[in-house]
Structure 1
């Protein structure tokens, strides 16, 4: 298993950053390679990705969700094997640190090589930068789910 850890500071309150992250169907607006996410239940999402011409579909289950603190997930079906957690840290009333930690199992030579060359780390860092731009430009979340898992 490979691991990646990245974080970014966003200029919105922790509640706003967390609320936006619970809106999984908006991820394609800031996550490169994510074509579509369907929220099937409160804890199950279906992902369609296309990274460098490799299309994958998989289901991810939310294993832990604590409002304004964390969202953890693991894949449960499909072609990708990964697990992770995103945590939200209040820096002050208008600033939040978003930290993403993920474990994944590269599939095949191309993905293994891409991982060793830092592709996944750069992808995650880029996605977090696009999340920052997305939420800061809006100034407010597109929705929220405040339930606990």
Structure 2
């Protein structure tokens, strides 16, 4: 197993940097090799990415999320791909230190060779630099979700019902709700139409190219 940790200082306040990171579906805009990230609900993501020349798909679960502090996730099947991204204000709060720590288990010859050449570590560093350029160019987040996920809450989405002002108007309930696309959630958690205010970019959002 490979453990890697990279950091970058972003010239944007922590609440904006954190809010942008919660917009998981925007990751392909600055993460090399990531073709798609789909938000399934408040704590589950589906990834499609190329790793060392091999395309893989997997689901990940957010197991710990505290606004303006950290987001921790784990892969639910297949290759181990777990990590934590943490946020800390610096320079009196005008900037943010973003630290990404990942545990990655190479699988197959191509991925093991890539690991030996530190390809994955280099990609993580590059992703952080592209994220820095992305948010600094925009100056503000394209959306945000201020809900909290505590360890042990995974799989119980919509428990907080909190959304950032920049996010979409998600609906959360305890008796079953319907998202904006008409997807009914029989478990009585957040409707999946807009992911409870995760605020994904729409055609009306201005998102700078990177």
**Range of TM-score over shorter length:** over 0.9
Aligned: 1:133 with 2:160: no
Residue deviations 1:30-72, cap 9 Å, x none?
0000001100010000001124541110000001000000000
* Higher helix residue share: 1
2: CA distance, partners of 1:25 / 1:74: 17
Aligned ranges 1:13-92 → 2 under 5 Å: 13-77=13-77, 79-91=78-90, 92=92
Q: Give the whole-Å Cα distance in 1 for the aligned partners of 2:56 and 2:93.
A: 39
Structure 1 length-normalised TM: 0.96
State the distance in 1 between where 2:84 and 2:42 align. Answer: 17
Q: Is residue 135–residue 141 contact of structure 1 (8 Å, CA) maintained in 2? A: yes
Tell me the TM-score normalized by structure 2: 0.69
Structure exhibiting the larger radius of gyration computed from Cα positions: 2
Per chain length, whose mean CA-contact separation is higher, i.e. which structure has more relative contact order (CA < 8 Å, sep 6+)? Answer: 1
After TM superposition, the runs of 4+ consecutive aligned structure 1 residues lying more than 4 A away are none
Count, aligned residues: 148
Report the RMSD for the aligned CA atoms in angstroms. 1.0
Any stretches of 5+ residues in structure 2 without a counterpart? 150-210
